[in-house]
Amino acid sequence: MAVINSIFENNAQWIQQKLAADPEYFHKLNLGQAPEYLYIGCSDSRVTAEEIMGLAPGEVFVHRNIANLVVNNDLNGQAVIHFAVRHLKVKHIIISGHYNCGGVKASMQPDDLGILNPWLRNIRDVYRMYQEELDAIEDYTERNDRLVELNVIEQVTNVLKLKVVQQARKERNIQIHGWIFDFKTGKLKNMDIDIEKIERDLHRIYELK
Ligand code: CO
């Protein structure tokens, strides 16, 4: 209980800090949001989106789930992307994975994990797509890290399959990015994914009219 209560003490201190720097801080926060970024990352407690990016409240719209997936029939994730793109009109969509991801690790073992099975299936499908490349990597950590990277590429691809994103690409050139966070160094790495190449290679059945 004492630990839980300390959270409210932290909150009170935070309010004092913010007000000391700007007495209008909360008034301004209450006026609305116009973030330029949509960040889709992992729920892992070590991947604190705003803190890693050095962004303040109001600057980034955040969606986090296990292993930073963009799943076609996940109403939650799809609604977040739709709202961020069409209504908030974010300029950038970022898919950020991280090395040493528990979700990605779990998907590399053929264990029955109950309701996690259909979720992790999305990562297992990524494994199957790149099976040859991944199976050739003998070191487990290296193979895991590579699957983290490939998963980001595939989730970026999934973002590009969405009509709302295709439209925003045409109308206002919304930018899509794939990043990786590394706990060992704290470094956020831009994978420099060639978005135009993915768009060119994507089969035209995904190009919705
Ligand atoms: Co993770």
Whether residues 37 and 125 share a domain: the answer is yes
Residue 35 confidence (pLDDT): 98
Tell me, what DSSP letter sits at residue 208? Answer: -
Distance from Cα 69 to the centre of ligand 1, integer Å:
10
CA 136 – CA 15 distance, rounded (Å) = 53
Residue 208 confidence (pLDDT): 87
Distance from Cα 116 to the centre of ligand 1, integer Å:
13
Residue 209 confidence (pLDDT): 86
Whether residues 140 and 63 share a domain: the answer is yes
Pair 123, 69: CB distance under 8 Å: yes
Q: Which domain holds residue 103?
A: 33-206
Question: pLDDT digit string (tens) for 5-19?
Answer: 899 999 999 999 999
CA 147 – CA 127 distance, rounded (Å) = 7
Whether residues 10 and 108 share a domain: the answer is no
Active-site residues: which are they? 42, 44, 46, 98, 101
Distance from Cα 98 to the centre of ligand 1, integer Å:
6
Confidence (pTM): 0.95
Q: Which residues of the chain have pLDDT under 50?
A: none
Residue 1 confidence (pLDDT): 60
Question: pLDDT digit string (tens) for 175-193?
Answer: 999 999 999 999 999 999 9
The environment of the single-atom ion ligand 1, i.e. residues with CB closer than 5 A, is: 42, 44, 101, 103
Distance from Cα 106 to the centre of ligand 1, integer Å:
10
DSSP secondary structure, 133-157, as one string = HHHT--SHHHHHHHHHHHHHHHHHH
